Structure 1
Amino acid sequence: MVTGQPHVTPHAVAEPEPSATGGPQLVAQQLRGANAAVRELLLALSVGFTIPGPLPRELLRKVAGDGADGLDSLVARAELSGFLQSDGAVAGTARHALLTTTSTPRIHALQRELVGCFVADGLPLGDLARELARSGLADHRVAAELEKAGDRALERDPGLAAQLYEEALLAGADELGTASRRALAASATGDLDSAGRIVDVLLVCADPPDLRLGVDVAAAVWAQRGLLARCADVYTWLGPERVGPSAPSAAVAMIGCGNRAGAETMFPAGSVPESPTLLAVAQAQTGQGILASLAMDPHQVLPILIHASDMMNASGAAVPVPDTPGALAALVALHSGEPYLAETIVRAATTAVQGGDAAKPRLFLIQAWCAMQQDNPDDARLAINEACKANHWPLVPRDEFLCAALEVGLARRSGEVHDLLLAWERAREAMLHTSVDLYSLLPWGELMITAARLRETRRISLYLDGAWKLLQDLGEPPLWAVPMHWAAVQAALLSDSPADLAPHAAALARAADRSHLASVLAAAGKVWVSVLAGKVRAADVEAAARGLNAVGMPWEGARLAGHAAARASERKDMVRLLSCARDLHPQGSATGANTARQSEATSAAAADQGNSSAQSDGSMLSEREKDVARLVLEGKTYREIGEAIYISPRTAEHHIARMRRRLGAENRSDLLVRLRLALGSENPKGSDPLVPLTGRSADPQQGARR
């Protein structure tokens, strides 16, 4: 420690004061001419020694002969030189010059001595350890300090942990010893490629350290890639004798790919948590809930998984798992017909950052699915946007597939053919990078319906075969199978294929006694068939439509009511069902909201108010007529137009006749041309109005005759 007044020698006073603000080369020349002891002091301080505090032994020996005030005199001379500032820090230019002109072995020797001083005093190196590692110092004490810092940061800031582990490697840390933790840090930030490369090195070793954590990371990476079967294979390779606390994760992975026997071997019924901690109990209950979801009466599943999600939220832990309990609980709620509850679950999990940053996109996408299911497209798109910006890495393949299926679902519900085609192409590409598993059945069901709508079923038939085999291997559990059978019923209706519809309708009927959702869907399916056969009973249709709304399917209910209204023979039934459709799906005619609730009589009367002007200006058309015009340009028939915006086929015919008179069209082709001109840029891009997507004639009259 510096004490008393610094002793200044006459020689020091006589020395010129070099400028500490010159360039590095100039400063280096000045330092070479300075007193050797001053230079050694400045070098020591540049390395990290401080005044007051320990200094290098060699420097202390040099000043020992100057008496008790030798160090004080040396400090005074350094200050007088202009290179040592009053706060004890070396001027920046001088520090840079000293560190660049001194030999590396000399620098490292001083750094090791500095580390020894910290260790002897029992002081942590802190940020100094990072600086030493970056400078190229290899020292096991520095490496150990950085490893500990990385371990502390791993849960709360995996990005920082990854940097600390890399710096520990620079300082000489064991590459294999840190592999599992480095892989975990990389996967937690969404860097799947780095995580996979690190863990691959670990798993091929004869006796890898920290093996179970490495397996958990590898399994989580496979799951995020959308290849849950490979995730299960990793746990199979580990074996039940070594799986330990990871047994619930192994069960989740194996159930997800259809291996029920393997799951029960890894995580037998009645298994208890390895410890009473929040994390251990949350993981154990997640495994128990997924196993219970395969039962014929799965009513206890949701409470178990919700408890698991709550405990995981409370623990604040971000451990590598095939899927978070929050995501699984929300999926079970969706499969049970409770999208409102599912949204509540994922919102709580997102707020608690359950699973860390890597899990955020999936939770937001499931939240978007809940919003779409409840017919809230704006909320769904907001959640999709949050998912896409939740991580600085691109969406992992599993999340990219879910996002693509969401876009398909939103486009199908909006009725925008161009958007649907674009979304379908994106989904086709996304599905090539993933595989079918139990926890992705909802998006596969959506794609099944859309494929039938677009006559593209052959493109996903292989995946659908895999989905049905998966359910068969698990014993057709009602919880997971019912929504898939409902999707198949809708696809068969779109394909006009009674033979394909029958087995799925029968499956819904069989499950009706054990599943409320199945009973509602079975009733709705029966009504759909009756409607398509021309037997419209308004009371039955309305009950089925409102039943669909009660299980979180308002859009499907409105669609059923709209189809039935278009086929109703009685005017009162048509009006009743149109009103029901509008109640369930008020934004069904959002583009013409100001006329959405016009009555049938008003619409018909308006059709008689002619205007023979031959203008092709879009201002000549009302908002409702523009809605009809867009559908005409998409090749829709009267019936399809009515179903799309919840009006009767006759009202659609009146609208088209009125537009034809207003625009002065002489025939159908002339009308199409004039409508394109009237709408201008509003015409859906990329669609050929003369060739409708379903292959039917674009002639409205021809469609009406059908």
Structure 2
Amino acid sequence: MVTRKPHITPAELELDVTGSPQFTALQLRGETAVVRELLLALSVGFTLPGPLPQELERKMAGDGADGLESLVARAEASGLLQPDGTVVGTAQLALLKITPTPRVHALQRELVGCFAAQGLPLGDLARDLARSGLADQRVVAELEKAGDKALEHDPGLAVQLYDEALLAGADELATAARRAQAASATGDLDSAGRIIDGLLVYADPPDLRRGVDVAAAVWAQRGLLARSADVYSWLGPERVGPSAPSAVVAMIGCGNRVGAEAMFAAGSAPESPTLLAVGQAQTGQGILESLAQDPHQGLPALIHASDMLNASGTSLPLPDTPGALAALVALHSGEPHLAETIVRAATTAGQGGNAAKPRLFLLQAWSAMQQDNPEEARLAVNEACKTNHWPLVPRDEFLCAALEVGLARRSGEVHGLVLAWERAREAMLHTSVDLYSLLPWAELTITAARLRETRRISLYLDEAWKLLQNLGEPPLWAVPMHWAAVQAALLSDSPADLAPHAAALARAADHSHLASVLAVAGKVWVAVLAGKFRATEVESAARGLNAVGMPWEGARLAGHAAARAGERKDMLRLLACARDFHPQGSSGGANAAAQAEAGIVAAADHGNGTVQSDGSVLSEREKEVARLVLEGKTYREIGEAIYISPRTAEHHIARMRRRLGAENRSDLLVRLRLALGSEDPLRE
């Protein structure tokens, strides 16, 4: 008698040939229908002990077996069921592969019904069911509920859960705002923008206010805060509700004070006395108060808002976090140490989620740079760049580029400054001017004057001054820009450009301590350039700069005044003052100037007691080269200017360095200024 093998389907054959143990499909075909039905039920998600599918119950009743225990024993004896009640992986794969999809989905729906009847959550099973292709609104509800729970604390997980809910049949429009919020919170601005675009085209879209908040946050991160304000204007005061503080931040940021006040009046009272709601209200209030002639109440309000958001542990779509805004106000007030404390607390608490971390780290870096801690600043920049797997958003990229410019300018390395400037020029093309980006623009104003590139940013500076004018010239926000304009005018040797900004600092001095310090420092700089100054006044101005968190600027002022002092005792006094403010390092900026000048004084002490400042050690050709070096020219540019080869220019510079005893480039620049005497001391 010939025994015929059971018929094997192509799907079963594929399982045998692609890695399953041999005869798995044959074993399944060889088992009784009731054993196969038990294994299929367990493969779908039913568990032992527990409710089983009705079809299995029916087959068990007609099988003549002793019951479930006997059936389980037979399945274990076949080697397809493990002692813990789970189906062997290859058998599970085979069963799900060869069973018709409608049959699998019918069992899955029955399983979901069992969970619902017992009032049990599906948990991770809901995700498995959605990924398997089951369309069921009960699964959708579980996934959306889990996504909502993860949204404020783990947006990356929320993205996955909402996507799986779509697979299970969720309404795309109903979840659009939440999906966009999750995407933006992870830094995926493009996905968030596409989802929101699909939502806001409808006349009456669901979850509208959340959608507007996400759109505003995305525009802000793209560096286009005016578009954020436009979104809130489109929403209108009658629908803004609890989003009013965010509308205020956006509108004030782009110069629309009237619109901001209308929005704040419409939604000034928080919906509920929660940490989050009160923190948002304090944010709007703090920004409005920062515009006052006496803005001292703005900073405490923003610090309170930041503390409340830290304590709430939630992240919402915002044009800017209260931690970042409080840090900016502290920096504009001349308190970089306070700004650093604020952003450290915000990053530790995870304020704003991962999407907000780069900006907070960059503001921490800016605070460190202001305090003349370049190493700490670079560490914070590195943290900002590695926080997310996405590139920096345009707003943060611009801030980072301006930071690099500021660090390069303070290091005194012309080549590094030029490279940083080129990066900043590209970054500025992808963003626009707003109130919260004035510090970077102030830094670029000074550097542009130094590099003779002011024309490159003149349009942006016009927008900045227009913005401040629209807001009524608020002293807190305007003072750093006026100070930058004063320095730019000094670098450009333009007294006419300096006068209005010096006058603005003097007017603001009544309400701003920082303005009073900067106004005095500006007058002293002019006196130093004219060679008519008193060492005591310079030292007082330098110490004032140090007291408002600007030690590098104070050291720079004292160092340059020392180079022009008429008496040796004044020179030594001012050099000591510069070293007090800038003690670390020896390779750049104000400290290099102080150390180099101190070295010349020491050499004079061992010589004839006078400092060589007439350039007698340099030939006429070397003086010509020296002036071009001080202008920041490259070897090639020097050669083109005086008709020599770049190699010859390099030889001239090397010879001058040996003659003057300069240890590095920064040292050489200082000694060349002293040797030539007539060069602008601001050009480091």
TM-score by length of 2: 0.87
1:201 Cα deviation from its structure 2 partner: 0.7
Residue of structure 2 equivalent to 1:603? 603
Pairs within 5 Å for 1:27-426: 27-66=24-63, 69-268=66-265, 271-426=268-423
Deviation readout 1:468-525 (Å, 9 max, x if unpaired): 0000000000010011100000011011111110100010011111111111110111
Match among 481, 494, 499 for residue 496 of structure 2: 499
Distance 1:405 1:464, change over 3 A: same
1:577 Cα deviation from its structure 2 partner: 1.1
Distance 1:34 1:676, change over 3 A: farther
The answer as to 2:575 corresponding to 1:578 is yes
Distance 1:226 1:120, change over 3 A: same
Preserved contact between residue 563 and residue 674 of structure 2 (Cα < 8 Å): no
Q: Partners in 2 of 1:217 and 1:423 — Cα distance?
A: 32
Residue of structure 2 equivalent to 1:11? none
Deviation readout 1:541-582 (Å, 9 max, x if unpaired): 111111011111111111111121122212221111111111
Preserved contact between residue 343 and residue 370 of structure 1 (Cα < 8 Å): yes
Work out the percentage of aligned pairs sharing the same amino acid: 79
Name the amino acid aligned to 1:225.
R
Q: Partners in 1 of 2:278 and 2:558 — Cα distance?
A: 46
Distance 1:39 1:526, change over 3 A: same
Name the amino acid aligned to 1:128.
L
Q: Partners in 1 of 2:623 and 2:653 — Cα distance?
A: 7
Distance 1:262 1:605, change over 3 A: same
Q: Partners in 2 of 1:527 and 1:351 — Cα distance?
A: 41
Q: Partners in 2 of 1:98 and 1:633 — Cα distance?
A: 89
Q: Partners in 1 of 2:528 and 2:657 — Cα distance?
A: 34
1:142 Cα deviation from its structure 2 partner: 0.6
Moved more, 476-485 or 566-575: 566-575
Name the amino acid aligned to 1:348.
A
Name the amino acid aligned to 2:653.
L
Preserved contact between residue 180 and residue 210 of structure 1 (Cα < 8 Å): yes
Name the amino acid aligned to 1:245.
P
Residue of structure 1 equivalent to 2:11? none
1:71 Cα deviation from its structure 2 partner: 2.4
Deviation readout 1:205-250 (Å, 9 max, x if unpaired): 1221111001101100000111000000000011111100000100
Name the amino acid aligned to 1:208.
P
Match among 633, 645, 653 for residue 672 of structure 1: 653
Deviation readout 1:609-641 (Å, 9 max, x if unpaired): xxxxxxxxxxxxxxxxxxx9xxx9996569979
Preserved contact between residue 535 and residue 574 of structure 2 (Cα < 8 Å): yes
Q: Partners in 1 of 2:513 and 2:108 — Cα distance?
A: 71
The answer for unaligned runs of 5 or more in structure 1 is: 1-18, 609-627, 642-666
Name the amino acid aligned to 1:604.
A
Deviation readout 1:451-474 (Å, 9 max, x if unpaired): 000000000000000000000000
1:181 Cα deviation from its structure 2 partner: 0.8
Name the amino acid aligned to 1:192.
L
Name the amino acid aligned to 1:672.
I
Distance 1:202 1:372, change over 3 A: same
Q: Could you say what secondary structure the match of 1:332 adopts?
A: helix
1:584 Cα deviation from its structure 2 partner: 1.2
Q: Partners in 2 of 1:113 and 1:470 — Cα distance?
A: 63
Residue of structure 1 equivalent to 2:615? none
Q: Partners in 2 of 1:634 and 1:382 — Cα distance?
A: 40
Name the amino acid aligned to 1:307.
H
1:32 Cα deviation from its structure 2 partner: 1.6
- Runs (4+) of structure 1 moved beyond 6 Å? 19-22, 591-597, 632-635, 638-641, 675-678, 696-700
1:139 Cα deviation from its structure 2 partner: 0.7
Moved more, 145-154 or 565-574: 565-574
Name the amino acid aligned to 2:491.
L
Moved more, 421-430 or 525-534: 525-534
Preserved contact between residue 28 and residue 101 of structure 1 (Cα < 8 Å): no
Preserved contact between residue 217 and residue 318 of structure 2 (Cα < 8 Å): yes
Match among 470, 483, 502 for residue 486 of structure 1: 483
Residue of structure 2 equivalent to 1:564? 561
1:150 Cα deviation from its structure 2 partner: 0.7
Residue of structure 2 equivalent to 1:646? none
Distance 1:520 1:192, change over 3 A: same
1:59 Cα deviation from its structure 2 partner: 1.1
Q: Partners in 1 of 2:679 and 2:402 — Cα distance?
A: 35
Q: Partners in 2 of 1:112 and 1:220 — Cα distance?
A: 40
Preserved contact between residue 243 and residue 267 of structure 2 (Cα < 8 Å): no
Q: Could you say what secondary structure the match of 1:226 adopts?
A: coil
Q: Partners in 2 of 1:221 and 1:699 — Cα distance?
A: 49
The answer for unaligned runs of 5 or more in structure 2 is: 1-14, 609-617, 632-647
Q: Could you say what secondary structure the match of 2:172 adopts?
A: coil
Q: Partners in 2 of 1:385 and 1:191 — Cα distance?
A: 20
Distance 1:154 1:106, change over 3 A: same
Distance 1:587 1:269, change over 3 A: farther
Deviation readout 1:121-170 (Å, 9 max, x if unpaired): 11111111111111111111111101111111111111011101100100
Deviation readout 1:589-620 (Å, 9 max, x if unpaired): 34799977956552225679xxxxxxxxxxxx
Q: Partners in 2 of 1:380 and 1:601 — Cα distance?
A: 33
1:302 Cα deviation from its structure 2 partner: 1.1
Deviation readout 1:52-82 (Å, 9 max, x if unpaired): 1111111110111346833222222111111
Q: Could you say what secondary structure the match of 1:558 adopts?
A: helix
Preserved contact between residue 638 and residue 701 of structure 1 (Cα < 8 Å): no
Q: Partners in 2 of 1:348 and 1:636 — Cα distance?
A: 48
Q: Partners in 2 of 1:24 and 1:677 — Cα distance?
A: 80
Q: Could you say what secondary structure the match of 2:460 adopts?
A: helix
Distance 1:95 1:502, change over 3 A: same
Preserved contact between residue 411 and residue 587 of structure 2 (Cα < 8 Å): no
Q: Partners in 1 of 2:531 and 2:664 — Cα distance?
A: 33
- Provide the alpha-carbon RMSD of the alignment: 3.1
Name the amino acid aligned to 2:155.
P
Distance 1:53 1:547, change over 3 A: same
Preserved contact between residue 250 and residue 263 of structure 1 (Cα < 8 Å): yes
Q: Partners in 2 of 1:145 and 1:432 — Cα distance?
A: 45
Q: Partners in 1 of 2:86 and 2:624 — Cα distance?
A: 76
Q: Partners in 1 of 2:465 and 2:250 — Cα distance?
A: 18
1:268 Cα deviation from its structure 2 partner: 2.0
Preserved contact between residue 241 and residue 267 of structure 2 (Cα < 8 Å): no
Distance 1:134 1:437, change over 3 A: same
Preserved contact between residue 330 and residue 366 of structure 1 (Cα < 8 Å): yes
The answer as to 2:458 corresponding to 1:461 is yes
Equivalent pairs counted in the alignment come to 632
